[in-house]
Amino acid sequence: MDIEIAPHVDEIRKALAIEIDSDKLAADLKRLLEFRVPVEEAKRSLIKKYGGGEKSIAKKLKDIAIGDLNIEVTAHILEITKRIITVKKAEKTIFSGILGDETAARSFTAWNDLGLNVGDHVNISQAYVRNWEDRPEVNLGNRSKVIKLSTKIDIAPTGIKKKISDLRDGDVNVESVFTVLKVEFHEINTKDGIKNILNGIAADHNTKVPFTSWILVPEIATGNTIEVKNAYVRSFRGVPTLHINENSKVTKLEMNIQYNEPEKVMIGDIIEKEGAFDTIIEGNILSIRPGSGLISRCPECSRVIQKSVCRVHGKVDEKTDMRIKAIIDDGTGSLTLVLNSELTQKIMGITVDRSKEIAKAAMSQKAVEDEIKRKLLGKILAARGNMSRGEYGVTLVATKVWESPERNGERALELLKRAGYGKNT
């Protein structure tokens, strides 16, 4: 960066609520100066462009959108945890959690310690919204202001009774009745130190969802049927997750809800949803996507990497692994099916070591991908797992997979029924 414009770039950065790369700002400033725009006017223009120096725009949480700049929200801190991340090869402590108002619950990240605590009612200004897992997340940067309020924020005037299958990301003040199928203790690193929470699986008659309880109460135990009031919903990896916290009321009910194992669903139905937990699909494998076969992962974070370089951990001793990314179609719709190493080896009948031998003999890792295509293209597979909707479309990450017997006539009848034809058609 030119020494002459460096001080001006610093001034612009200090006036912005969001973090903008200095080189990008320098390039923008140079471009304006080349057009003979006076330096002070150029600086004001860039500050305005990136959302600085203006009055914040008040929004409800349900109305925020990815890319919003300089917004103001009034909300209740529902969760907050402390995380250490790596930024430009240096460790930085950030604070992330959940905000709630009467319209929705949304995730947030504070890039500095603003003294926020669970239960605080706050007015936040000069914030901005980024993309987190394809959903809007409120970000509090260097210029963001937080005022703690003495008046409490109403999450919602009345509870919203919902079945497990009707839960949606952002729902607040949810009332629901379900059976606890599974529950486990976990430790997390919060702003105030280590905290014990409960993670588990909730179910009604035909649907399961994960849940997190930030309170430890005896009612939340495997086998119990409970009623929960004033809970909220946030998606994790595309799957709606029910959250229970200090404001929630949990009551054990003297009744039983019998959960029935999931039945196969049509892909055309499932892709209309935001996400789905523990669902079964069946269809033809139409194509095997690039990135299938032998892959390399970072031993620290398991990210898929190229040339032994992880974007988080830098140069690493890569770990060889396998996966399959396939397009599966049942005539009503299609999605991407992802099989991990264990399922890939199971459905292919070859190990990672054997795959290495195949690649070595052919002097190309693509030989393993070609072998997958040879065996699976056109096959009918059934898979069970979690579906999510993201930047790259609809994906089902399988927990189980198996080959289905050829039953084209049966599948044809299913499609005819869906089209409205009777039994005599």
pLDDT tens for each residue of 407-424? 545 555 565 566 665 555
> Residue 152: its pLDDT value, please?
73
Where would I find the H helices in 2-109?
A: 6-14, 22-34, 39-49
Q: What is the mean pLDDT of residues 215-225?
A: 95
pLDDT tens for each residue of 30-39? 888 888 888 8
pTM of the model: 0.68
% of the chain exceeding 70 in pLDDT: 90
> Residue 421: its pLDDT value, please?
58
CA dist., res. 81 & res. 118, Å (int): 9
Is-contact 403 379, C-beta < 8 A? yes
CA dist., res. 208 & res. 138, Å (int): 29
Q: What CATH homologous superfamily does 57-148 map to?
A: Nucleic acid-binding proteins (2.40.50.140)
% of the chain exceeding 90 in pLDDT: 44
Quickly count: other Cβ atoms within 10 Å of residue 289's Cβ.
14
Within this chain, domains 160-253 and 267-416 share the same CATH topology: yes
Check residues 26 and 155 and name the one with the higher pLDDT.
Answer: 26
* 118 φ, ψ (degrees, to nearest 5): -60, 135
pLDDT tens for each residue of 79-105? 888 888 777 667 788 899 899 998 889
> Residue 335: its pLDDT value, please?
95
Give the CATH number of domain 160-253.
Answer: 2.40.50.140
pLDDT tens for each residue of 8-32? 887 777 667 566 778 888 888 888 8
pLDDT tens for each residue of 173-196? 899 999 999 999 998 877 777 889
Sign of the alpha-carbon dihedral angle for 190, 195, 200, 202: negative
Q: What is the mean pLDDT of residues 254-279?
A: 87
CA dist., res. 305 & res. 32, Å (int): 39
Give the CATH number of domain 267-416.
Answer: 2.40.50.140
Question: What are the boundaries of each domain within the chain?
Answer: 6-49, 57-148, 160-253, 267-416
Q: What is the mean pLDDT of residues 241-252?
A: 92
pLDDT tens for each residue of 286-331? 999 999 999 999 988 888 888 888 877 788 888 999 999 999 999 9
Provide the mean pLDDT of the chain: 86
